[in-house]
Amino acid sequence: MTLLDQFQLILKTAGWPDWAVYLTPAIVGILIIIIFVLTVVIVFIWWERRLISRFQIRLGPNRCGPEGILQPIATAIKILLKEDIVPEKADKLIHFIAPVTVFVPILLIFAVVPFGDGAILVDLNVGIIYVIAISSISVIGIFMAAWGSGNKYSYISGMRSIAQMVSYEIPVVLSIVGIALVTGSFSMLKIVEAQSIPFILLQPLGFLIFFLGSLAEMNRSPFDLLEADSEIVAGYHIEYSGMKFAMFYLGEYGVALAYSGIITTLFLSGWQGPLLPPVLWFIIKVMLVFSAIIWMRATLPRLRVDQLMSFAWKFLLPMAVINLLLVAIEVLVLPAGLQWVMVILNFGLAAVLILLWSKLFTLGGGRVEV
Amino acid sequence: MKFERYGIGIAKGMALTLKHLFRAPITVQYPDEKLSISRRTRGNELVWFPEKCTGCGTCTKACLQGNIILVTHRGEESKFIVDKFELDSGRCIFCGLCVESCPYNALAMGLNYECAKYSRKDLVLSKEKLSVSSDHQPSAYFRPQFDDQLPDQSLLLYNREKGGQKLNFLPLSKRKRGPGA
């Protein structure tokens, strides 16, 4: 029973009409989630700028407000005041719709992210499938932006985004199936409740595949080919300014927040944790995941296109299939009480598999480079 | 068996960037913290010593821009008395030829580098503004006699004995980082 259902029950016993019983909790919940997302996105922007500058032995923005926390707000005001430019060669309608098409699906993901025990907007029984389905829509938005801009750089970026997103969707979904096998459910709440041991220990290989795949899904470094500043200027949002650009910018960090939340839910036992309240545990874990993402951005150079594609198809996909097979066998053979045996077994198998598969992993011309 | 191709290289790189988190930032928070620049810099604005100047006008002839305006009249014992010594620092290219040409050591380059003004009128510097004051010090360019009075250049990395600092594992707080760095 989620908090939303309890709210509905309270209103029903208070004698509200049916439509109000249905609508009021939904609107309140949606508002809370939108406010939460926008606040955390602002904190994320600040946190990324501060942390990446520490990785680069700088201090980062520290003027505006205490420790520079108001800097993203100042940036947001600056962006809002800018002129909204539509290029002459643009496909005006598509150029207009694209930012919304990118941003709205990202907000929709948060409907099934559990922030605490029962603190979820809708507990869908196909929650994680819903996430995969919805997050794919923003690819269309990105391609619309790329096509509608009438710019060759943004068009290259759009083509890259399609190739990248479609390729990395497959290993991501396959690694989720491994979790569904252990849990026996696609519901996000049930997945969290099933994690007496976090699934990062139970399925290290699955976590690795999902983490790298979702990095590519959210277009973060080292998979940020579609925004590669040094090659194609700014990629798909090259012709956007003002509020429309802000939508892309928010969407970029919104999807980072969404995927951090999903990684937390699927692999880091979600809101579960001792002492602190569940929501706080959730936020701490999300920040940890996001910090790891920033750490990767600070370290790794951008992949080439051929490296990107071969990493998805020749490395992640076979590993995901093997991982799925192994988890299926373990679930079938091992009795339910022996989860710690599964942990040790899976860590060993992951190490052996990565070593063996790396030997087979070649790029064009038989060169081995990773 | 080479381990470089199994992601060990990536792990090494990640460890390296993680170490950077515990290093003090090398950037200088400019308006709050300032490094002292080279002693022999050709800084902005000439420094003019009125007691040494004889009004001979060598500097005005040496100036490529024709930028120094010098007006004098004959005083007692037929010495020149300087009425006007003006420099438009907006047109000055800081070549230092006037300083090098001065036969009486009456001119020096300045040590200052923060000379932005709100209007072009302020860029024209009169006698009074060109004289030595607390924020208008001469640099040792072509005037090595000033060398001893000036602070050493603070390079963050190397000049540790002379005020520079060790980079590794310093605390972040500004109080502990010390002045000028």
Stretch A328-334: mean pLDDT, rounded? 83
Set of chain B residues whose Cβ sits within 8 Å of the Cβ of A300: 10, 13
Strands B43-48 and B107-110: antiparallel
Domain enclosing residue A289, as ranges: 82-366
pLDDT band of B171, cuts 50, 70, 90:
very low
CA distance A4 to A24: 10
Q: Where are the strands (E) in B3-154, listed by range?
A: 43-48, 68-74, 80-88, 107-110, 124-125
Residue window 42-71, chain A: list those with CB within 8 Å of chain B. 53-59, 62
User: Do A315 and A212 belong together in one domain?
Assistant: yes
* Whether pLDDT at A135 is above 70: yes
Examine the fold and report which residue of A80, A103, A136 is the final residue of a domain before the chain moves on. A80
Q: Are A57 and B20 in contact (CB < 8 Å)?
A: yes
- Residues contacting A188, CB < 8 A, separation 6+: A112, A113, A114, A120, A123, A124, A127, A128, A265, A270
* Whether pLDDT at A220 is above 80: yes
User: Do A281 and A265 belong together in one domain?
Assistant: yes
Using an 8 Å Cβ cutoff, are A129 and A177 in contact? no
Looking from the CA of B73 toward its CB, the CA atoms found within 13 Å total 3
Which residue in B26, B5, B58, B3 sits closest to B177, CA to CA?
B26
- Domains in chain B, CATH or no CATH each: 4-35+154-177 (no CATH), 43-149 (3.30.70.3270)
Task: Give B66-116 pLDDT, tens digit per residue.
Answer: 888 889 888 888 888 888 888 888 888 888 898 999 898 888 888 888 888
Examine the fold and report which residue of A40, A65, A80 is the final residue of a domain before the chain moves on. A80
Interface test with B, best of A47, A52, A55, A356 (most B CBs within 10 A): A55
Q: Are B13 and A299 in contact (CB < 8 Å)?
A: yes
Chain B: residue whose CA lies nearest to A361: B5
Set of chain B residues whose Cβ sits within 8 Å of the Cβ of A56: 20
Which residue in B77, B71, B66 sits closest to B55, CA to CA?
B71
Stretch B55-73: mean pLDDT, rounded? 88
Q: What is the pLDDT of residue B158?
A: 46
Q: Are B27 and A59 in contact (CB < 8 Å)?
A: yes
Examine the fold and report which residue of A80, A99, A119 is the final residue of a domain before the chain moves on. A80
Q: Are A295 and B6 in contact (CB < 8 Å)?
A: no
Mean pLDDT of chain B: 77
Q: Are B16 and A299 in contact (CB < 8 Å)?
A: yes
User: Do A43 and A186 belong together in one domain?
Assistant: no
User: Do A95 and A211 belong together in one domain?
Assistant: yes
Total count of domains within chain A: 2
Question: Which residue, chain included where needed, has tokens 């020749």?
Answer: A314
Chain B: residue whose CA lies nearest to A63: B29
* Whether pLDDT at A45 is above 50: yes
Helix residue ranges per DSSP H, chain A? 3-13, 18-55, 71-80, 92-109, 127-148, 152-183, 188-193, 199-202, 204-217, 229-232, 242-267, 278-299, 305-310, 317-333, 339-360
How close is the nearest chain A Cα to the Cα of B23, in Å?
7
Q: What is the pLDDT of residue B179?
A: 44
Set of chain A residues whose Cβ sits within 8 Å of the Cβ of B18: 295
User: Do A59 and A19 belong together in one domain?
Assistant: yes
Most confident by average pLDDT, A31-35, A183-187, A273-277: A31-35
User: Do A146 and A251 belong together in one domain?
Assistant: yes
Chain B within 8 Å of A355 (Cβ-Cβ)? yes
User: Do A265 and A194 belong together in one domain?
Assistant: yes
Task: Give B111-142 pLDDT, tens digit per residue.
Answer: 888 888 899 888 888 888 888 887 788 888 88
Q: What is the pLDDT of residue B118?
A: 92
Stretch A31-44: mean pLDDT, rounded? 88
Stretch A335-350: mean pLDDT, rounded? 79
Q: Which residues of B touch A (CB under 8 A)?
A: 5-7, 9-10, 13-14, 16-18, 20-21, 23-27, 29
Q: What is the pLDDT of residue A79?
A: 86
Interface test with A, best of B4, B21, B29 (most A CBs within 10 A): B21
* Whether pLDDT at B170 is above 50: no
* Whether pLDDT at A224 is above 50: yes
Stretch A80-90: mean pLDDT, rounded? 85
Chain B within 8 Å of A329 (Cβ-Cβ)? no
Q: What is the pLDDT of residue A228?
A: 75
User: Do A168 and A285 belong together in one domain?
Assistant: yes
pLDDT band of A370, cuts 50, 70, 90:
very low
CA distance A297 to A282: 23
Q: Are B7 and A54 in contact (CB < 8 Å)?
A: no
Which one is predicted more confidently, B19 or A337?
A: B19
Q: Among residues of chain A, what percentage have pLDDT more than 90?
A: 3
User: Do A76 and A147 belong together in one domain?
Assistant: no
Stretch A357-367: mean pLDDT, rounded? 63
User: Do A33 and A122 belong together in one domain?
Assistant: no
- Residues contacting A146, CB < 8 A, separation 6+: A154, A155, A157, A158, A159, A161, A235, A236
* Whether pLDDT at B181 is above 50: no
Q: What is the pLDDT of residue B4?
A: 53
Q: Among residues of chain A, what percentage have pLDDT more than 70?
A: 96
Its sign, for the CA torsion A223, A225, A227, A231, is: positive
Mean pLDDT of chain A: 84
Set of chain A residues whose Cβ sits within 8 Å of the Cβ of B25: 53-54, 57-59
Stretch A161-170: mean pLDDT, rounded? 87
Facing residues of B85 across strands?
A: B70
Single-letter code of the amino acid located at A91:
D
Chain B within 8 Å of A354 (Cβ-Cβ)? yes
Q: Supply the pTM of this predicted model.
A: 0.80
User: Do A121 and A239 belong together in one domain?
Assistant: yes
User: Do A329 and A217 belong together in one domain?
Assistant: yes
Q: What is the pLDDT of residue A366?
A: 52
